[in-house]
Amino acid sequence: MNYKFSKFLKLVLSGIIVFVIGSILYKILNMDIGPNDIQKYVTSFGKLAPFVYIIMFALVPLTLFPDSILAIGGGIIFGLYKGYIYTLIGALIGSSLSFYISRKLGRSFVKKITKEKLDYIEEMINSKGFFVILLLRLIPLFPFDVISYGAGLTNIKYRDFIFATIVGTIPGILVFTNIGAQSVDIGSNSFYLSIMALILLILSSIVLKNKFINTQKK
């Protein structure tokens, strides 16, 4: 009797988890692209809002929804510090999901999801591993999820991949969550500073990307 009840309970819990994840995934796919839309949806869950937000970010690789828009929404909802922490957790789960999807299901399946050519990313990561992942994470102009999928097709160790992701995403996550956090007070000095930080991040990314591409061509 206890065994049957335990089995039934596991089945029910699994069903609930699948339903929750499926509902959130459906919402992401059908959501208008805007931080305010994200705010309304996430805050509707009350105390469960952080959990829902983290799941949303973790599922981004399956939808290729813009990470930056979601991060800005996180800053609006939770503020800079909590927004950064929740976004980082979601980003790490999402990047790990992409990495292992590539490892388990292979190149043909991944290409159907990303619709991108991953060969050049694979070659770069295979040659320099940790350093390349770190550099690519520091350049928001390179698609976050495509990098994760590409890394899964290489020989890089997961430990190196996730550590490079943690360090490399610090500037980008901070900048985008800060914009969200400061957008509640448009016109303040802190808001203009957040915009300046975004401009600096984009300009730095352009310079790094050009240097990186030129280096790879040599």
41: its two tokens: 């949806």
Residue 40 pLDDT > 80, yes or no? yes
Length, in residues, of the chain: 218
Backbone angles phi and psi of 118, in degrees to 5: -100, -5
Q: What are the b/e assignments for 166-200, b being 16+ CB within 10 Å?
A: eebbebbbbbbbbbbbbbeeeeeeebeebeebbee
Mutual orientation of helices 119-128 and 130-137 as an angle, nearest 10°? 120
pLDDT in tens, 160-201: 999 999 998 888 898 889 888 887 777 677 777 777 877 787
* Whether 164 contacts 133, CB under 8 Å: yes
Q: Please say whether the dihedral angle defined by the alpha carbons of residues 158, 169, 34 and 75, taken in this order, is positive or negative.
A: positive
pLDDT in tens, 130-153: 888 888 888 777 778 888 888 888
Label residue 26 by pLDDT band (50, 70, 90). low
